[in-house]
Amino acid sequence: MEKQQKGRVIITSARNIMALEIARSLGSKGIEIIAADCISFTMLAYSKYVSHHEEYTNYEENEQQFLDDLEKIVKKHKPDDGRPFLLIPVFRETMIISKNAERFLPHIKVAVPPFRAIEKVHPKDNLFKTASRQEVNIPETYLPEKESDLEEITANHPFPLITKPYAGTGGTGIHKVRF
C-alpha cells in the first residue's frame, strides 16, 4: 500500500494568532508549513512547525508588488514531487488573494471562496444588507449616513448603544455610547 503524501502549505499574515493556530493544526499532522508576512519578526518565524519564513511587500503600500512577491514565493516553494500544495490567506490579504486567485491557480490551490461571495459579507455593512435581503434574523442594525440619521436612532432607542465601524476586526473601533 502506497503511503499518502503529506502536503505543503503557505500561510500568510504570519504574525497573526489565527495563522499560528493553522500552522499548529496542520504542522502537527506532518504538513509542511511555509510562513509569509510583510514583516520578518512574526510568531510563525519561531514556530517549530514552520520550515521556511518568507517576506512580501505590504499590500497596503503596493498591492501589485505584494502579488508579485507572493507569486515568487509560491513558485519558489512549489513541490516537484506532486504532493498537495495550498495557499491559506489569513486576515486582510484574503480579499486581494481571492480577487486575484486565477493568478496563483497554475501553481497552487488557493483556500478562499470566490471574491463575489466575499463581497456579499465584507465589509460588515454588506453582511447586514445580504442578511436583510435573505430575511435572516440578525440584531437590530442601522447604517446611518448623516447626522440626522443618528439623531433619529438615538431618540428611539435606549442607551447604551454599541457602535462599530463597517470595517475592522478584533473589536477595533467598537464603542459603547452612553447618554
DSSP conformation class of 172: T
Instruction: Grade residue 179 by pLDDT with cuts at 50, 70 and 90.
Output: low
Q: Indicate the pTM of the whole model.
A: 0.80
Q: What is the C-alpha separation between 57 and 65, in angstroms, rounded? A: 6
Q: What is the C-alpha separation between 168 and 172, in angstroms, rounded? A: 6
CB of 15 within 8 A of CB of 42?
yes
- Conformation bin of residue 71: beta by default, left when phi > 0, alpha when psi is -120 to 50: alpha
Q: Could you give the 3-state DSSP secondary structure of residue 97?
A: helix
Q: List pLDDT tens digits, range 80-115.
A: 999 999 999 998 899 999 999 999 999 999 999 988
Instruction: Grade residue 130 by pLDDT with cuts at 50, 70 and 90.
Output: confident
Q: List pLDDT tens digits, range 22-33.
A: 999 999 999 999
Distances (CA, A) of 99 to 43, 117, 118: 27, 11, 9
Q: Does pLDDT of 167 surpass 80?
A: no
Q: Could you give the 3-state DSSP secondary structure of residue 141?
A: coil
